Amino acid sequence: MTKRFVYADNAATTPVSEHVFEAMKPWLTEYYGNPSSLYRIGQQAKNAANTARAQIGRALNAAEPINEANDRKPGEIIFTGSGSQADNLAIRGFVEGPSNHGRKHIITSKIEHHAVLYTCEALEKEGWRVTYLDVDKQGRIDLEQLRREISDDTAIVSVMAANNEIGTVQDLKAISEIVHAHGAVFHTDAVQAAGHMPLDVQAMGIDLLSISAHKFRGPKGIGALYCRKGITLKPSVFGGGQERGWASGTENVAGMVGMGTAIEDAVSEMDEKMSHVRRLTDRLTQGILKIPYTHATGDPVNRLPGTASFVFEAIEGEGLILLLDARGVCASTGSACSTGSLDPSHVLMAIGLPHEIAHGSLRLTLGEQNTEEDVDYLIAAVTEVVSTLRAMSPVWVDGKPDLSAAAGLHG
Ligand SMILES: *Cc1c(COP(=O)(O)O)cnc(C)c1O
């Protein structure tokens, strides 16, 4: 096995494409004006920001991405500093804003990104009532439970379009119908979904939708919130009044141009590109599932085309990532102890995996730049690393997991 470098962590971030990089460059070096300035390079920058809004609006089928009546005021596309900021602005900005008429209940799911979950937990401490919906073994929310929990006190329902760990895609249209029947608004964190699956805010009945450029080959540090016309949010940052006064700060014009270019590129010929990615992912999944005591996670049908996710019995995710790195492979595990705790991810817990199995999770996320050779290398590298780790594992006995051997380890 000749060593190669394989980037298989496109759900964490993606490389900026050459095309996006070239589109951004003049807005950093030549047309660097402040969009609020009245002289030419300022106005050019403002126009570039609005062009980017229009590109994003087209990709999402927003009705009014820019404000036709006043080109100094954005329409439905509000730029933020990240996907996390877009999620925060959507949820807190809505429930504390003037469009929420006194409703005190929030519904979300147990498998949201922390940008959503921790916003909801913070609001809960401030007196809001929050319901965290369960998901089934595939990671789909229970629509019946949503119907039971929603009431005329529910202000907002926030359910992600596609999960970042296991790739499961939700039925957004079905959710929005339930939400709207109760006069609540529907927010979806589409940070993983955008550029990878079709999104149509009008057809799907989405009121608020978060995206982030670096997940679809744009730059880091720029996100956007689609906010349906007629909804008014409470500002997340006070200051110079940019982005309808909801996210003040001098515009990251190059980032906006990069985001607009990247989303336009991503949605052009999306079917062809994503069926290529899906073929690679299927080949990868088949190869990895040949390893004994291995399980695929997430929904086998309703899933992102590039996400392959697994759990290996009698394996520690961290060891897996480090040994894969030594073989030139960038991958990710849901059990990374980023906070110093060794708890497996909340997503793997929510889909009902036992603790000891959830610890051995691996996420491989492919992009359009990956090849069949990459996939074959990934399969070989993972197979080798899993067997190396199992050979050293105290809970791997006679070629199979032995949980009785684990009993003494957790004391
Ligand atoms: C990456 C991600 C975010 C956060 O986006 P940033 O731009 O990195 O802040 C939010 N939600 C999901 C589902 C993500 O995958």
Full DSSP string of 138-198: TS-B-HHHHHHH--TTEEEEE--SB-TTT-BBP-HHHHHHHHHHTT-EEEEE-TTTTTTS-
pLDDT of 410 strictly over 50? no
Residue whose Cα lies nearest atom 6 of ligand 1: it is 83
Ligand 1 pocket, residue 189 CB under 6 Å: yes
Q: What is the mean pLDDT of residues 362-375?
A: 97
Local structure of residue 300 (DSSP, 8 states):
S
Judged against a pLDDT cut of 70, whether residue 265 lies above it is answered with yes
Q: Which amino acid is at 364?
A: L
Percent of the chain with pLDDT over 70: 96
Which pLDDT tens digit goes with each residue over 299-350? 999 999 999 999 999 999 999 999 999 999 999 998 655 545 567 899 999 9
DSSP 10: T
Confidence (pLDDT) at 70: 84
Structure tokens at 153: 């006190």
What's the pLDDT at 407? 55
Tokens of residue 205, six digits: 């009945």
Whole-number pLDDT of residue 403: 73
Instruction: Answer whether residue 409 shows pLDDT above 50.
Output: no
Of 138, 216, 213, 202, residue with least CA distance to 170: 138
Mean pLDDT for 96-102 is: 97
Q: What is the CA radius of gyration of the chain?
A: 22
Cα(381) to centroid(ligand 1), Å: 28
Half-sphere exposure at residue 131, Cβ-oriented, CA atoms within 13 angstroms? 21
SS3 74: strand
Residues in the chain, overall count: 411
The mean per-residue pLDDT over the stretch 96-120 comes to 98
For residue 377, report the phi and psi dihedrals to the nearest 5 degrees.
-65, -40
**Closest by CA position to 267, among listed 191, 189, 196:** 196
Ligand 1 pocket member 83 (CB < 6 A): yes
Nearest residue by C-alpha to atom 5 in ligand 1: 83
Contact indicator for 315, 386 with CB cutoff of 8 Å: yes
Q: Is the CB of 84 under 6 A from ligand 1?
A: yes
Place of tokens 């009044």: 241
Query: What angle in degrees, to the nearest 10, is found between the helix axes of 270-288 and 372-392?
Result: 30
CA atoms of 289 and 65, how far apart (whole Å): 44
CB 206 within 8 A of CB 227: no
Cα-based distances in Å from 223 to 26, 109, 354: 20, 22, 35
Q: By C-alpha distance, which of 247, 233, 220, 254 is closest to 187? A: 233
| 191 Cβ inside 6 Å of ligand 1 | yes
Tell me, using a 6 A CB cutoff, whether residue 212 lines ligand 1: yes
pTM: 0.96
Ligand 1 mutation target, pool 87, 187, 212, 222, most atoms within 8 A of CB? 212
User: For a substitution probing ligand 1, which of 109, 111, 164, 259 has the most ligand atoms within 8 Å of its CB?
Assistant: 164
Q: How much is the pLDDT for 341? A: 58
What pLDDT shows up at residue 411? Answer: 35
Q: Say which of 120, 227, 330, 337 is annotated catalytic.
A: 337
Is 337 marked active-site?
yes
Of the listed ranges 14-18, 51-55, 68-72, 310-314, the one predicted with least confidence: 68-72
Residue 372 DSSP class? H
- Are the beta carbons of 208 and 188 closer than 8 angstroms? yes
